[in-house]
Structure formats: structure tokens, C-alpha cells
Structure 1
């Protein structure tokens, strides 16, 4: 099942001279996506209803419910009047990890992130990035120049984030969009996993700020360099440094900010 990512709505366009004109404007769709693993309700994400299979796989990887995926990951989706139900089956040997995360998620949803145990779950240790990018600054600027061509939903609506896998030469190899920056990155990582692709000396490019959750998703996918359009939080920068993930932030067509790279870009 594939849903429409955008649909039109009529607005009144008001001008300073008192004029009014009706116009149609495309709006990005946003629906609840209820994710079930092994028949257990796990999470509800607000997402654009496209590439749901990629979203669920990327989300499972980011949640550490599965490791690097080399098997078949089927997602059954069902449209309801309230949104989308997405069901996936994890390997039996991941059942304990699933139940442990569900237990913490239940307590988080009932009272926020509370207690030492849940704080430890919120900021879990990250592995160290093993990959190395071969991209230079020219490749980053090339990718920035080309990102707009891979954002059809944002071009139509002005309301979608993009996540892109960029080759070492700066060419964008794959991109995904969503109203949520986390969802867009999960969709990209899930699509790469389905294709059996790694970062291959390239890097990840995000049209958003650099939050700690996005750093974690990058590290868990062994991304060798993360480039974001906006600034990082202090926690994001600290988590990236601890995991050996270089960051390029506030990436603009005329300048970049680089942190944590052993070779000059």
C-alpha cells in the first residue's frame, strides 16, 4: 500500500492592499503510524504515509531491536480511518530485547522519562563508528547544491525534511522525505538496509538541525560523517564526539562548520 504524500487545500491569499484571492496549496500528509513487532504494539509515529516499510525497518534498527539487517524484513500495512497500522516480525532471538524495550516504553509513556533506569535507557552507550569518509569539502558543497532536486515533497509543500545518502564524490545516491526529520532518516537507513548498501566512504546529509537522536541513528548505521543544515545541540555534539562521528553543521552554500575529523576536509 502506498499513500499520497501530499494533497491540496484551498486558502484565501491576503495582500497588503486589501486584495483576497483563493488559491490551492499542496499540504504534506501526516498520519499516525502504529508499529507492531511480533504482535506487540510498540510505538505510534506521526509520519508521511510513504515508504512505510523503509520507516519501520530503519526504526527497528535505530531502536536496536535488530542488528545490521541481512535477511528479509516484511512489513504489512493496513489503512484504517485513524491512520496506518504497520506490522513486522522480528527474529525469535530478539524477543527478549523487544520485551525489555516495550517495558521501558510503557513507563516512559505513562510518566515521561522518569527514574535512573529510564534515564540510562534514554542515553544508552553507543558503539564507535568504524567507517571513514572519503568525501572532501567540494563533495559536501556539491551535495548541498543538489539536495533540492531530491526533495519533491518539500518543493510541493514546504513542509518536509529530507535525509540523503551521499557518495564520496558528492552525488546523492538515495534520499527519503518525511514531515519528521527522524522519520526521514529512519526511512533512508531502512531503504539502504533493504538494498544491502553501506555508506561506501560517503556521508549522510540531513535538511534539519542535528539532534542527539539523529546522531545516534547515524552512529548505529555506521555513518562515517553526518552533515546537517542547521546547528547541533550540545548533547548531540558530545554524543558524536564520544562515538567518533565527525559532524559538519550549519552547512550552507558558502561555508561549513566542521567538528571532530582527523583529516582535513
Structure 2
């Protein structure tokens, strides 16, 4: 296998992007692994890289964010290279395409449309997307999104065309209504058999209404839940460590014994 001289470090963003293209193109023609990749084989790796970027953002690790951004950018260039080989499009088409879309969807910047606030911008965005050929306001929500993220995006899209509650108190009333409907299907004080399908449907309605309320009070439900996940993991691992230090196995401990360590974990920052 021939040896290639690595392209030198760049001094400008444009040079840096060209350096990435140079490296990727060389790998695509010379590296046995890179040669074999297709859009389909890269797909799951891209998803993994995106989640790693998300983790870095949630952890506030800015250096890790930088590294993961590079990994994601490499994947984007890789897809464009594969498409170019197929004669479908190239990286220039991708870059020009996204620039044209941004220019077209920001007529308040590149045109004579006037806006008063962020909501006006979002409404214009959705109207323009429909003019571009979208059959539904919700058509741009990926079907494979995780359900919690999808619910938030659906609600944001509907709001963009004015389909929304007028006040957060109305949304909270809906939360309470859905809570009562769920309780009717799955009452903790009633030991009779439940209709699992109905209970599941009502629970879904309850979650959807809570996500809606979170949007009204400007809480990102995905971020909120992930922070709670991380908090639980940290406290549970503290519990495991303390149990091990004291020669105990969790499965042999009572709940009361575990609660002692759990309460200690709440005090540890």
C-alpha cells in the first residue's frame, strides 16, 4: 500500500473543509475499510456518533463536543462522496442546496418580509415549507424519532401554524384531565383487572399533555428526562459502591437498607 503525505493543517475554515475532503477522498480510494462502506453501512454509525455528540452536550464537555462534531462532519462528507460516485450529487450540491434553503426560508433577512418575534419566524418557516411541496405541516417530523422527541416536535410544528392552546393554564387543565382518565383505567386503589390497551392509550395521552405543558413553560422534555436518568444512574451507582464496600450484595439487602445509601447519595454532589 502506498504512503501518502498528510495534507497540512489549515488556517481558515475553507482550507480546513478542503483538507477534510482531501483526507476522506484518499481514504475512500486507498483504505480497505473505507472502500467498502455504503450509505446503509454508515447509517447506524452516524446515529451512534449523533448520540455521542448529544452526550457530550449534556455533560457540558466542550472539548468532547468539538471532537464529536468532527466525527459527524466526516460522516456527512462521506455520504456526499458516495453519492458523487453514484452520479447522484456531490458535496457542492449539498452546500449550495442548504444555503438556498436557508436564504429562501429567511425572507425577513434576505427579503422584505417583516417579523416581530421568534413565533413569526416559525410561522413563516412552516408556510414556506408547504409552498415548497410539503403535503403536511407534520410531514417533516421523521417517523423514526424517539417518541418523546417526536411528540415535542409535533407540538412545535402545530404551534407554528397557530394550532395551539392560548394559555398554559388550559394546558395544565388538560394534564389533570388526562391524569384522571388514566387513573380511571388503572386505579391504584382498585385491584380489579384493567384493560391494558386502554390504560396504555390513556398513559400515552397523559405523557403527550405533560410534554405539551413543558413546552409552554420552556422546558425541553428530552433534556429534563435525560438529566433525571443521569441523576438516577449516579445515585444508584453510589448505592452499589457503598454496598460493595460493606461486603453486601444488593439482591441480599432489604429495601430499607438500600434506602440508607440512596439517601446518602442525594447529599453527594
- Which structure has greater helix proportion? 2
TM above 0.5, yes or no, is: no
TM bucket normalised to smaller = under 0.3
Q: Which has the larger radius of gyration?
A: 2
Q: Provide the TM-score with structure 1 as the length reference.
A: 0.22
**Relative CO higher for 1 or 2, CA cutoff 8 Å, sep ≥ 6?**
1
Instruction: Give 1 or 2: higher strand fraction.
Output: 1
* TM-score normalised according to structure 2 size: 0.21
